[in-house]
Amino acid sequence: MGRKHASGRRVFVLDTNVLMHDPAAIFRFQEHDVYLPMVVLEELDGAKKGVSEVARNVRQASRFLDELVDGADRHGIEHGIELPAPENAGAGAPGRGRLFFQTRTYPDGLPESLPGSRLDNSILATARALQTERQDAAVILVSKDINLRIKAHVLGIPAEDYYSDKVLDDVNLLYRGTAELPGDFWDRLTEPVESWKEGIRTFYRVTGPITRDWYPNQFVYQGPPRDFEAVVRSREGESATLELATDYRSPHHAVWGITARNREQSFALNLLMDPEVDFVTLLGTAGTGKTLLALAAGLSQTLDHKRYREVIMTRVTVPVGEDIGFLPGTEEEKMTPWMGALMDNLEVLTETSAGGEWGRAATSDLLSQRVKVRSLNFMRGRTFLNRYLILDEAQNLTSKQMKTLVTRAGPGTKLVCLGNVGQIDTPYLTETTSGLTYVVDRFKDWAHSGHVTLLRGERSRLADHASAVL
């Protein structure tokens, strides 16, 4: 697409949405140059007002730019401002690139079908003019806008997405939390298996090369005829300690009247009911039981085991259709339309209560006192102590928003994040840049966190058929 340059030097022309997404983007292009068209500065100026995350990012990007141009004279700006080297750069690290601003008007040079009055087309015109001016480097447009990248490619301008915020190259590489053991697993172990009991808990110590790929609280299993299911408690070198997983498919281990319907749901309940696991992430498509399991485990541990003071439910308020405007009432009343999925599952759980109508009414009154609905908009500055916190639709959070929420957890609090990375509604977020993907990957090595990807839907035969044919 673009010309090859022996030097390998590049000039990255940034779209406004890149800085809106990551205010530190200008520092992430290593030894290559960064170019900011004047319309990008205009758009930043127009988006700086407000209290949204985008507005905060814009203000931070403006502060970075102000620090860079502070003290630079006209000559320095014309020839590019040297970007600072990262703090961890060694002596042999490549030199840093320069930051260039558009200081003069370039001829349009665009087809008549692309009028230059539009801001996006103005960026395209600038990038096209730079291709002629900068013969020493490849000019590449960087944008989160797919349509702008398409137009750039049509005009012969190399264009890329902004990749620095990606956790993985492919979402299929995301940690799943489970691993099936090969049929000859027990024969491939390099040392004899040790086993022992601690009360009702059964442990095994296994040694072999396969254990090097395991993570804390990961589930390993074998199907029939052995039917072995265990959770990794610790690992050192090629030796790992396994604990037999509790089978929550059995009615004897029902949680608030709910039993698991498949292996992954049983694994999820093992994590949700474990007091040593402070952070749980559950991924899965609609109907896999994420919300029901999380709620059942929360109610059981809050009301039966007295482990937590209350259950707090929250979610990202991204509408599927048109916004219905401002809603009256308290914080909890305003959140009610967004919490339909959680409320539906609460109804299922209250129906399992004994005592007929009176028993269900008493249970509902109790739940209204111990189950709270909160908005994410008011999470900043809060600290939750001894709470069971459920975050639904977590795939719509950015990595920064996820960090803001996770750091709200105080002593004794358990955080459960639910979501489906295939159903993202937030602009410029993808499966590989979602905050949910981010925390799953970053927490997989921590001994007090766990993750399970739920695979099977457990709704009605109608829903199963619709998922298959529609």
The 10 Å Cβ neighbour count of residue 41 is: 17
Q: State yes or no: pLDDT of 69 exceeds 70.
A: yes
Q: Check whether the bond before 111 is cis (ω within 30° of 0).
A: no
State the pLDDT confidence band at 380, using cuts at 50, 70 and 90. low
Q: How far apart are CA 15 and CA 206, in angstroms?
A: 53
Residue 48 has pLDDT above 80, yes or no: yes
Q: Where does 10-160 sit in CATH, by number?
A: 3.40.50.1010
Query: Is 60 exceeded by the pLDDT of residue 238?
Result: yes
> How many percent of the chain have pLDDT more than 70?
80
Residues 6+ apart with CB under 8 A from 90: none
Q: Which long-range contacts (CB under 8 A, 24 or more apart) does 219-222 make?
A: 219/177, 219/178, 219/179, 219/245, 219/267, 219/270, 219/452, 220/178, 220/179, 220/180, 220/181, 221/178, 221/179, 221/180, 221/181, 221/263, 222/180, 222/181, 222/183, 222/185
Q: What average pLDDT does this structure show over 424-446?
A: 89
CA gap 399, 165 in Å, rounded: 9
pLDDT exceeds 90 at position 55: no
Residue 457: is its pLDDT beyond 80?
A: no
Closest CA relative to residue 421, chosen from 404, 413, 407, 433:
433
In the prediction, which pLDDT does 440 show?
A: 95
Mean pLDDT of 186-205: 93
Cα 238 from chain centre? 30
213 secondary structure, DSSP code: G
Q: Residue 430: what pLDDT?
A: 84
11 contact partners, CB below 8 Å, separation of at least 6: 32, 33, 34, 35, 100, 130, 134, 137, 138, 139, 140
The residue with greater pLDDT, 441 or 119, is 441
**Is a pLDDT exceeding 50 seen at residue 81?**
yes
For tokens 């090629």, what's the residue?
Answer: 238
pLDDT at residue 340 greater than cutoff 70: no
Are 10-160 and 258-469 in the same CATH fold? yes
pTM: 0.77
Give the pLDDT mean for 41-56. 86
pLDDT at 90: 44
3-state secondary structure of 256: coil
Q: How buried is 460 (Cβ within 10 angstroms: 0-12 exposed, 13-18 middle, 19+ buried)?
A: exposed
Average pLDDT for residues 327-356, to the nearest whole number? 59
Interval 265-284: pLDDT, tens? 999 999 999 999 999 999 99
Considering only CA atoms, give the Rg of the chain. 27
Per DSSP, what are the bridge partners of residue 281?
417, 451
Dihedral sign for Cα atoms in the order 350, 354, 357, 361: negative
The CATH-assigned architecture of domain 258-469 is: 3-Layer(aba) Sandwich (3.40)
User: What confidence score (pLDDT) does residue 93 get?
Assistant: 46
Arithmetic mean of pLDDT, 112-122: 70
Note the pLDDT of residue 47.
87
Mean pLDDT across the chain: 83
Residues recorded for the chain: 470
Query: In this predicted structure, what is the pLDDT of residue 384?
Result: 87
Write the CB contacts of 186 (distance below 8 Å, at least 6 apart in sequence).
Answer: 193
- What is the rounded distance in angstroms from the CA atom of residue 381 to the CA atom of residue 408? 7
State the Cα–Cα distance between residues 464 and 469, nearest whole angstrom.
Answer: 9
Q: How far is CA 434 from CA 145, 176, 182, 314, in A?
A: 17, 16, 32, 18
3 state SS of 48:
coil
pLDDT at 92 (0 to 100): 45
Q: pLDDT, tens digit, for every residue of 178-195? A: 999 998 899 889 899 999
3-state secondary structure of 126: helix
Q: Per-residue pLDDT tens for 152-177?
A: 999 899 999 888 767 776 778 899 99
Which one is predicted more confidently, 338 or 24?
24
pLDDT of residue 4: 44
Domain ranges of the chain: 10-160, 176-244, 258-469
Share of the chain above pLDDT 90, in %: 42
The whole-angstrom separation of Cα 92 and Cα 176 is: 38
pLDDT class for 425, splitting at 50, 70, 90? confident
Query: Phi, psi at residue 5, to the nearest 5°?
Result: -125, 125
pLDDT recorded at residue 159: 94
Cβ atoms 178, 264 nearer than 8 A: yes
